[in-house]
Amino acid sequence: MLAALIKKELLALARDPQGLAALFVMPVIFIVIMSLALKDYYSPPQRSLRYAVDAHDTGKLAQSLMRSWQQQHGAPDALPADWQQQLREGQLKYVLVLQPGLSDELALPSLPTTARIRLLAEPGLDANLFNSLQAELSGTAGELKARTALASTDAPPPPANASMQSLIQPERFGIHGPRPSAVQQNVPAWLVFGMFFVIASLSGLVVEERHSGALSRLRSLGVPRSVQLASKAIPYLGVNAVQAALMLAVGVWLMPRLGGDALSLAGIHWGALLTTLFAIGLAAVGMALALACAVRTHAQAAAIGPIANVLMAAVGGIMVPKFVMPMSMQRLAEWSPMNWGLEALLDVLLRGGNIASTLPHVLRLGGFAVLMFAIALLLFQRPSR
Amino acid sequence: MLAIAHLGHRYPKAPSAALVDVSLQAGRGKVLGLLGPNGAGKTTLISHLAGLLALQHGEIMIDGEPLSAVRAKTPTRIAVAPQEYAFYPMLSVTENLACFAGAGRLQGAKRQERIAACLAFAQLERFADTRAEQLSGGLKRRLNLAIALLPEPELMLFDEPTVGVDPQSRAFVLDAIKTLATQGAAVIYTSHYMEEIEAIADDVVILDQGRVLRAGSLDDLLAQDAMVMTLAADGIAPEALMQLLSRFGTAQALGDRMRLELNAAPAAVLAALDAAGALVRYAEFGRGNLEQLFMSLTHRSLRD
């Protein structure tokens, strides 16, 4: 009995091109577009920005400063006559104006009180990038000033590789996790989104069954409600599994071919990944069943499912990463089941998480799934008249 | 086989009961025609038999055993062919049959045998691989019928199974249902088409506003109108015709015809009309028809 009904669900799904596209193609497109669009967010391009130098100080230390800058940022463009216009239009990303007295200031063994370098950025330059350039310029000038001051003392000259940067060892803390990238963030995000999109597919078919009288016919044949619900849940859990495999494959193999970063699964805890994916699948299918049993018309099915999905994604950190949200919105995000799934996946894929560390999120997803299945069973018992 | 006694049902928050003290019986090898205007309670009655509604008042027995017990043991003893196309439009004819055969616990060779038999019975072999959504209205009705027959039910309920089909398909469906009764099944057939009920029913129950208005064998019900004459005549004014007919019984205008409950011989009526110079255009006597009975019982008022 169950096998025949599962086969029916799979055939119905296979013959619904729009449903298939929503389940498999849409999340892939989101992963590709968002990963490529946000590629620079995780590896800022400050070292390759087009810039020029307007040098009103050509002293030895000003030239030395520019040589240090060029080592990190490449050679500047020749300063065009209309550089201000180009800067305004964004053709030049920034211009360094070295004002008279810069070399003298760098030679003084004291902290400066007057600006001698103007960092002029194009109006649309990302604020983080702008701050990063300012900090880097300040660091480079400071180090040059320190070297000059050291040279005037009896202290031995510093080794060739000595630098203020050696003082700091920056690293993202993780056990064995891969480095963060747009792909590493976007694959789990849009995978969760895609898995929850079973809501739209499933509710449409249930409404169709109810309207056609097929559900009543199954009931009159004595098919238990639990079997009817299971016959829908099992194939859609399978759909979730295929989605997960497809999205991970896109991240690992397709994204590098499209010029993006590759998703790295090296060193991750596979048990934690599979447990998390199963919990997300249960939550998604449970919610899909509950909504499918709640809606009564095709119009409701077509509207409520996608709207619920998009709202949960917007709130849950899928569309906008949670870490860029203000604290109040982050607290709100923690109420979204999509966020529980996303955080558990990020824990596995980015932070080297294992089953124990993902357990709080997995338990929430499991509890949510149980609640949704119970609601579905309750609503399914309503007479269809 | 089926015995319903004093069945009553009221939907939550409904202003009146959908069924009140309904009693009827359906036997093996017979077709019971269930007639009633919209809102009469037919669907509620069928929903009870299909196991979709819980019993509130009265009892429903199958061969002396409560319906609920029968449904719990072998739900497939009773089949419902609903008014809607109760199948999956995106599946082919065979896939639909396989799905509902599986749902009806048919397995292995028996399942294949029943699918083939039902395809043949409904003459759907040529369309076995056609998706249900691509079938014509008549073929969809036949698929609905074929699915209902899969588990070889003993009691079958057909809820307006000929709505929206061409005359050939209607004739086919009626013949098929009559055949099922001939083969020993108990059949309950609801329809708005009186001529269909007259054509296939052995017994008739007329329901209105949840109550049984009339129940009995079709012949007995129609014989009740044996002394009714229906006629239409030209060449005589309506008032004069009414006055003339009133001498032979109670006359009543029914559109362009007159209904006369006779207290005299019909030949006398015809002779009087002839003498008055009227030309009899239509005359019917000796057996009432179901439509007249139904309309007189339900008082012709619109229900929707």
Query: In chain A, what percentage of residues exceed pLDDT 70?
Result: 95
Determine the Cα–Cα distance for residues B84 and B99; give it in Å rounded to an integer: 18
Query: In chain B, what percentage of residues exceed pLDDT 90?
Result: 57
pLDDT of residue B182: 93
Confidence check: pLDDT of B303 > 60:
no
pLDDT of residue B291: 76
Which pair of tokens denotes residue A109? 């063994």
Which pair of tokens denotes residue A296? 């009564």
Interchain CB distance below 8 Å, B103 and A219: no
Which of A12, A212, A383 shows the shortest C-beta gap to B52? A383
Determine the Cα–Cα distance for residues A230 and A211; give it in Å rounded to an integer: 20
pLDDT of residue A235: 95
- When pLDDT is cut at 50, 70 and 90, the band that residue A178 belongs to is low
pLDDT of residue A385: 45
- Write the pLDDT tens digit of every residue in A333-368: 889 999 999 999 999 988 888 999 999 999 999 999
Q: Does A12 touch chain B (CB under 8 A)?
A: yes
Nearest residue of A to residue B43, measured between CA atoms? A385
Nearest residue of A to residue B107, measured between CA atoms? A1
**Mean pLDDT score, B128-142:** 94
From start to end of A33-143, where are the E strands?
A: 51-55, 94-98, 117-121
Interchain CB distance below 8 Å, B100 and A221: yes
Q: Does A217 touch chain B (CB under 8 A)?
A: yes
The answer to whether A123 and A91 have CB atoms below 8 angstroms apart is no
pLDDT of residue A62: 94
Interchain CB distance below 8 Å, B51 and A220: yes
The answer to whether B249 and B262 have CB atoms below 8 angstroms apart is yes
pLDDT averaged over every residue in chain B: 89
Which of A4, A212, A218 shows the shortest C-beta gap to B84? A212
Q: Does A266 touch chain B (CB under 8 A)?
A: no
- Residue among A50, A39, A35 at smallest CA distance from A133: A50
- When pLDDT is cut at 50, 70 and 90, the band that residue A180 belongs to is low
Contacts of A208 in chain B (CB under 8 A): 88-89
**B206-226 CB burial, b ≥16 within 10 A, e <16:** bbbbbebbbbeebeebbeebe
- Residue among A247, A236, A253, A239 at smallest CA distance from A189: A247
Q: Does A382 touch chain B (CB under 8 A)?
A: no
Ramachandran region, residue A356 (left: φ > 0; alpha: ψ -120 to 50; beta: rest): alpha
**Mean pLDDT score, A189-194:** 91
Give one DSSP letter per residue of A180-247, joined into a string: P-HHHHHHHHHHHHHHHTHHHHHHHHHHHHHHHTHHHHHHHTT--HHHHHHHHHHHHHHHHHHHHHHH
Q: How many residues are recorded in chain A? A: 385
Q: Cα A288 to the chain's mean position, in Å? A: 24
Contacts of A213 in chain B (CB under 8 A): 82-86
Which pair of tokens denotes residue A264? 């790295």
- When pLDDT is cut at 50, 70 and 90, the band that residue B144 belongs to is very high
Determine the Cα–Cα distance for residues B205 and B207; give it in Å rounded to an integer: 6
Range in A171-185, A220-234, B35-49 the model is least confident about? A171-185
pLDDT of residue B43: 86
- When pLDDT is cut at 50, 70 and 90, the band that residue B126 belongs to is very high
pLDDT of residue B51: 84
**Mean pLDDT score, A235-240:** 95
pLDDT of residue B180: 92
Determine the Cα–Cα distance for residues A182 and A39; give it in Å rounded to an integer: 5
Contacts of B84 in chain A (CB under 8 A): 211-213
The nearest CA of chain A is from the CA of B288 a distance in Å of: 36
Token pair 């009961």 is at which residue?
A: B17
The nearest CA of chain B is from the CA of A244 a distance in Å of: 27
The answer to whether A2 and A227 have CB atoms below 8 angstroms apart is yes
Confidence check: pLDDT of B165 > 90:
no
Residue type, A265: L
Ramachandran region, residue B302 (left: φ > 0; alpha: ψ -120 to 50; beta: rest): beta
